[in-house]
Structure formats: C-alpha cells, structure tokens
C-alpha cells in the first residue's frame, strides 16, 4: 500500500503550532501539481505564523531528499509515533534542523532564528485567513 493511500499516516490535524512539533514528522494536504509523497512528508524545521499567502502559516519542512522547503496555504497532519522508527530510517542521512541555533531564510531573504516565529501582522489588522477564522468562530458561537 502506498503511503498516500494509508490513512494511518494522517494523525491529528495541526491547528495550532507548538514547540512540541519541532522536528516532528508531518504530512501535508494535497498540493498543487500533485506533488509526490516525498514532497508531502517532512520534519518541521520552522513555523512562521501568518507569514504565508493570505495570512496562512509558512512552514519550513525538511524532506527526505535533504531539501528544506517552505509550505504555505497548506494543511498539516502529525504523523503518529508508531511510524517514527520507519521515518527515522528514511531520514537517516538528512540534516536535523535546529532553528533555535541557526537562521533560516526564504529564498535567501528574511532570515529568522527560532522555531515559532510570531506573526508580523498587527492585532486588529485583517488578512483573508483571519477573516475566515473569525467567520467560522462566529457561526460556531451562534450554534
């Protein structure tokens, strides 16, 4: 069975990033262009809150080919711990990131050090993602 067909890889969906997610294995949602599974599974290297398109989070993942790639406008699921030993073997020759010690850039710009980088969007400002979340929360409150 292919990884992308194995629903067991899709653990809990990540709604709020925490430091517990540092270097954890995640799988992304579907990607434009039908990215192969190698570009959907990675270790979380850094999270930049609301730094992506439309105010989504910009997440840097280290993939099994040792490429550090940013993912924005994306959903993420934490891969359950029972797959860690298997994935550790797949990632054995891959750099283990430490964003608390080293700066990471986006296309050699915007250097940031730290695992979770707080949003640069000011309180009270609007982004499409904030607007959607607010609308959802309002509907939930009505129920």
Phi, psi of 31 (to 5 degrees): -120, 145
**What pLDDT was estimated at residue 21?**
97
What residue segments make up the domains of the chain, in order of their start?
3-142
**What pLDDT was estimated at residue 65?**
92
CA-to-CA distance for 72 and 88, rounded, in angstroms? 25
7-60 tens-digit pLDDT:
777 889 999 999 999 999 999 986 655 555 678 899 999 999 999 889 999 999
User: Chain-wide mean pLDDT for the chain?
Assistant: 88
User: At 106, is the secondary structure helix, strand, or coil?
Assistant: strand
Going from the C-alpha of 17 to that of each of 8, 21, 32, 84, 90, the distances in angstroms are 21, 7, 23, 19, 24
Residues 6 or more apart in contact with residue 49 via CB below 8 angstroms: 17, 57, 116, 117, 118, 119
CA-to-CA distance for 126 and 83, rounded, in angstroms? 39
115-129 tens-digit pLDDT:
999 999 898 898 988
- Average pLDDT for residues 85-100, to the nearest whole number? 92
pTM of the model: 0.85
Asked if 41 contacts 64 with a C-beta cutoff of 8 angstroms, the reply is: yes
**What pLDDT was estimated at residue 1?**
41
Secondary-structure percent of the chain, ordered helix, strand, coil, rounded to 5: 30, 25, 45
């Amino acid at each position: 069975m292919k990884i992308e067909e194995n629903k067991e890889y899709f653990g809990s969906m990540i709604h709020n990033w925490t430091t517990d997610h540092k270097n954890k294995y995640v799988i992304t949602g579907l990607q434009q262009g039908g990215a192969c599974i190698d570009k959907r599974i990675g270790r979380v290297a850094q999270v930049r809150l609301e730094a992506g398109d439309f105010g989504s989070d910009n997440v840097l993942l280290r993939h099994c080919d040792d490429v550090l790639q940013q993912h924005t406008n994306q959903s993420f699921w934490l891969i359950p711990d029972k797959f860690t030993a298997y994935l550790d073997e797949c990632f054995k020759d891959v750099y283990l990131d430490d964003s608390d010690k080293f700066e990471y850039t986006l296309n050699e710009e915007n250097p940031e050090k730290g695992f979770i980088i707080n949003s640069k969007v000011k309180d009270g400002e609007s982004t499409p993602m904030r607007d959607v979340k607010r609308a959802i929360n309002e509907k939930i409150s009505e129920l």
